[in-house]
Amino acid sequence: MSRDREGALIIEPVRRGSGDLPAELADALRTGEFHQALRTAIAHRGLSLARLRAHLALRGVQIGQSTLSYWQRGLRQPEVPKALPAVRALESVLQLPTDSLVVLIGPRTARPRGHQAAVSFHDLRSGDMGSIVDQLLSDLGVLPSANHSNADLELLSVHDRITVDARRRQVSIRTRLVTRARRHGPDRYVTVYNGDPGCKIDDVELITAEGCRVGRIRRHPTAETMATELLFDRKLGEGDIHVFCFEVRDDSSALFPGYYRMLRDQAASYLLQLQFDPTAMPARCTRQVRARDDALPVEAEELPLDTGGVTSGYFRDAGPGLAGIAVEWN
């Protein structure tokens, strides 16, 4: 056994058969997703991401610690074929059978994922989350298949502003909506908040600022999801413009990975701003548009950060689909 320059033990590239692995790890490699298998293997070896990165560097593979974090959390998948050397090096460092991780990437990356746990979404309705959101909407008296409360409102402009603290955690999301009534009668709006991993949904607060007040709230603790009814003070007439604003306060999640808004219909204007603490600035922010949550971006543009720690992504005629900003940390 050898040591690196810092005196830490170097894991030798001993390959094992699946029968030599603990049951949990063997099962993850056989039936799990790539990120589940990678996370389980890292935990089994007892390596920090910093040490894992160092071992990969000794094998000639340079990869960012943030990338490894995204891979094991399911925020990203290795790109084929570019990332194959890195994945094979992971198999070596983690002492896994040859190709045991490789077979979990490639075509599997296009499979729809269920709960997009590490990214915040409003109005999320996809994969396994669909039935959970439908349940919450039904509890609020909204017909899930049509979502009548929101179908009567045309989104003219959406402005989300997310605050991220010095610990790189999301603190709050402030949303301002400009809507127009498609017909006579709408008097409320239903919003769905989906927290990041570790979110304590029972502690999440929704505070109204103008144009609405909080009605009924339904929460699903195991899915970190909350549906809230925002009540207007009057029924809107056809063509009426209504502006309202609310804020979700949630400081219970882990490292902030970015934010996407699911737009079911087209919005004429969507502005997303991220406010970072000046002492904890990200390495990169990328404006992205996706047709759906499991698809590759159809638009991707790196965004600048101003001296105050604010980056802004503007989307004209956005939706249907997802629009947001991906964040990478050092």
Banded pLDDT at 143 (limits 50, 70, 90): low
Tens digit of each residue's pLDDT (9 = 90 or more) over 73-95 = 877 778 766 788 898 999 999 99
> Are the C-beta atoms of 305 and 311 separated by less than 8 Å?
yes
Global pTM value:
0.59
Decide the pairing of beta strands 225-231 and 267-276.
unpaired
* Residue with tokens 């638009």, as numbered in its chain: 299
What is the dotted CATH code of the domain comprising 2-110?
Answer: 1.10.260
Mean of pLDDT values over 50-58? 90
> How far is residue 105's CA from residue 82's CA, in Å, rounded to a whole number?
12
* Type of residue at 191: T
Close Cβ partners of 31 (under 8 Å, ≥ 6 residues apart): none
pLDDT for the residue numbered 128: 47
Close Cβ partners of 117 (under 8 Å, ≥ 6 residues apart): 74, 196, 197, 224
* Residue with tokens 């989104």, as numbered in its chain: 155
* Residue with tokens 């079911």, as numbered in its chain: 264
Domain covering 121-328, topology = Immunoglobulin-like (2.60.40)
Predicted confidence (pLDDT) at residue 189 exceeds the cutoff of 70: yes
Tens digit of each residue's pLDDT (9 = 90 or more) over 284-311 = 999 998 877 767 788 889 999 998 999 9
